[in-house]
Structure 1
Amino acid sequence: MERFIEEELAIAKSVDLCAVAEYLGYTIRRVGKYYTIKEMDSIRIYSRSHWFRWSRQYEKGENGGSQIDFMRVFAGMEVKEAVFWLLDFAGYRRIEEPENRIVLKNQVVDKQEEKKTFILPVAAGSNTYLISYLNQERAISKVIIDYFIKKELIYEARGYHNIVFKGNDKAGITRFASMRGVFDKEGRAFKCDVAGNDKRYGFNDVNENSDVLVVFESAIDLMSYMDICADYESNKLALGMLSDAPLETFLTEHPQIVTLRFCLDNDEPGRKAAVELMEKYYQNGYEVEDCPPPVGYKDYNEWLKATKLLQRVPEEKAVMKSAHGMAK
């Protein structure tokens, strides 16, 4: 276990255990607040992340645990093998560093590392997991989700059901793509860029008739902003980072832009980047505005989720009041 970094173990333990069991060929059934397996009905899966087998409750090491224990007991894997399998299932790719690497001074590099070919992940053919995650976990409305699906800017990848966010150039050719896992209810989320992409581009939504560009850190914040503000008119761009390389490219390809609105996060890196970017682009002749989410919210998605929660409370009270009236 010591060979895995904390982040890798967190990813392995964030995988949806029900999805893992289904992939292995088991039939999952929901019973109240937990899940069970048709083929072994003494098993209980709680919070989709850990399990317990009542028929062997006194057999330590065989009666429950995490996703890693599930693979060990039911797939016959060693702990190390199970962790690697779960990382692979989550779409995580480990970058190995050679041990005892020697750094040579004044070393002459014989040749540059060959650039990887940019190939988009194969589509799943359905967007079920994508829609469920963005709607249920991120509170983004189905109207907004459908908008981006129909524009072919997002889709669900085959295999691990990762969401793929595409960054197109002015001609509509995809130059950049990032992936975001949907099984992160417990632990850290899986995120990565597709190998070989051009980081001068970012996830974007273009309107050539608008001279306004709204800038975000992430694609999910961009979608959340659209849901909150119903803004289908402006151009929108997610940097995917705090570097402005995608912004520079977008402005070069869309010279009609006059106004830049920075909707970066409310944390320290986001506030620092907003000040620096506004100063830079103001000096470059653009009108600039700082438009972070309200105080108390880290980003636009956190704001959206809080807004949806506040909207649900009156609706739930109305339903309860109606039911109470019918009971009388």
Structure 2
Amino acid sequence: MERRRFTEEERELAKSIDLCDVAASLGYTVKRVGHCHTLAEMDSVRIYNRKSWFRWSREHESSGRGGSQIDFLMTFAGMEAKEAVFWLLDFAGYRSCPEGDKKPKLKHQIRQVRAEEKKEFVLPAAAQGNRHLYGYLCDQRAVSRDVVNYFVKKGLIYEEAHYHNIVFKGNDKDGNTRFASMRGVFDRNGRAFKCDVAGNDKRYGFNVFRERSDEVVVSEAAIDIMSYMDIFQDYENSLLALGMLSDAPLTTFLSEHPQIQSIKFCLDNDEPGRKASEALMQKYYELGYDVEDKPPPEGCKDYNEWLQKAKHQPVAWERKQEMCL
């Protein structure tokens, strides 16, 4: 059966998906170069802001020189525009496509490409203490020391030795770490260092599972999950940070913990976050889960911004705490 025409909203949602993840899923090796990314197999390609690309080469026709995620799939996977949009929506978990659409072959095979083995997943060495971790999370991001202590004692966050980045660990149901991301504590000129640890499994995310809970609270970032826990003093429900707008970590979490019956989406208040929340709410409602959309209040981009504003306004913070009791 031919798929229906996509809406403009779906097209914009497809163009919000991380292009580096898309390229990697096609078999390319994505490498960082300065403030952008390139492909090890074709270093004339540049990916900007993880959302658009350009190929700095005169060998190729102007129609295949750059554009959006949709243009990337049209150029490198031989897709039509409509097919590319639906493939992207499926890739990010917003809707399902036929199985045959999921693994397109590369249209342009790169000469002398050496298939690299999957990198071994090795956690960064830990520092002797967590001084910079506490300084950043408590002083700069306003997360309470009690909440930070909770995650440190569970072994889910620690300070790495070399650059003092914070490491956020994503464990499976048996307590094995399958995913890890890092966040710098020394932001320079408003720029934050963020990256995933090489070799990790993106089907997992930073999470806390609580056996007596049948609800999971879902955010985009680990610090937002910590902020949610601080705001609502929630030590009862399970928590999960996607680390992106794809729901692969949520799919894994639900499969490992079938007792979960309800999902609370606490995604960002920006346009991509709102669109993703609406799509995921619909998807998981149709799968039989109770779903709730709980974005931060108007004027706050995410839960950490809400936390910081609340703590800088003591009266509002006290009122909020009373509401949570």
**Structure-2 residue corresponding to 1:11:** none
RMSD: 2.6
Query: What is the CA-CA distance between 1:161 and the residue it aligns to?
Result: 0.3
Unaligned runs of 5+ in 2: 1-32, 45-55, 61-105, 319-325
In structure 1, the partner of 2:137 is 134
Secondary structure at the residue paired with 2:292? Answer: strand
Could you say what secondary structure the match of 1:175 adopts? strand
Match of 2:182 in 1: 179
Q: After TM superposition, give the deviation of residue 107 of structure 1 in Å.
A: 2.7
Distance 1:305 1:105, change over 3 A: closer
Trace 1:92-103 onto structure 2 (pairs within 5 A): 98-99=43-44
Find the partner of 2:211 among 208, 212, 235.
208
Alignment partner of 1:239 out of 229, 242, 259: 242
Give the letter aligned to residue 306 of structure 2: W
Change (3 A) 1:152 1:314: closer
2:192 matched to 1:189?
Answer: yes
User: 1:228 is matched with which residue?
Assistant: 231
1:112-151 aligned at under 5 Å gives the runs: 112-151=115-154
1:117 aligns to what SS in structure 2? coil
Q: Which runs of 5+ in 1 are unaligned?
A: 1-83, 316-328
Q: Report SS of the residue matched to 1:113.
A: coil
Task: Give deviations 1:250-276, integer Å, cap 9, x for gaps.
Answer: 000000000100000100000000000
- 1:286 is aligned to 289
- Tell whether the 8 Å contact from 2:138 to 2:144 is kept in structure 1 after alignment: yes
Question: More displaced, 284-293 or 98-107?
Answer: 98-107
Q: TM-score, normalised by structure 2?
A: 0.65
What SS does the corresponding residue of 2:236 show, helix, strand or coil? coil
Match of 2:163 among 154, 160, 174: 160
Aligned equivalents of 1:239, 1:137: Cα separation in 2: 22
The number of equivalent residue pairs is 226
- Separation in structure 2 between the aligned mates of residue 205 and residue 294 of structure 1, nearest angstrom: 24
Alignment of 1:310-321 (within 5 A): 310-311=313-314
1:94 to partner: Cα distance: 7.6
Give the deviation of 1:95 after TM superposition: 6.0
Q: How far apart in 1 are the matches of 2:264 and 2:189?
A: 34
The CA distance in 2 between the partners of 1:232 and 1:196, in whole Å, is 31
Alpha-carbon deviation of 1:187? 2.3
Query: SS at 1:281's partner residue?
Result: helix
**Do the aligned residues in 1 keep the contact of 2:311 with 2:317 (CA within 8 Å)?**
no
Matches within 5 A, 1:300-319: 300-311=303-314
Determine which structure has more spread, i.e. the larger CA radius of gyration.
1
CA drift of 1:296 comes to 1.1
- Cα distance change on mapping 1:159 and 1:108 into 2, 3 Å: closer
Q: 1:107 — aligned with what?
A: 109
Distance in 1 between residues matched to 2:317 and 2:218, nearest whole Å: 33
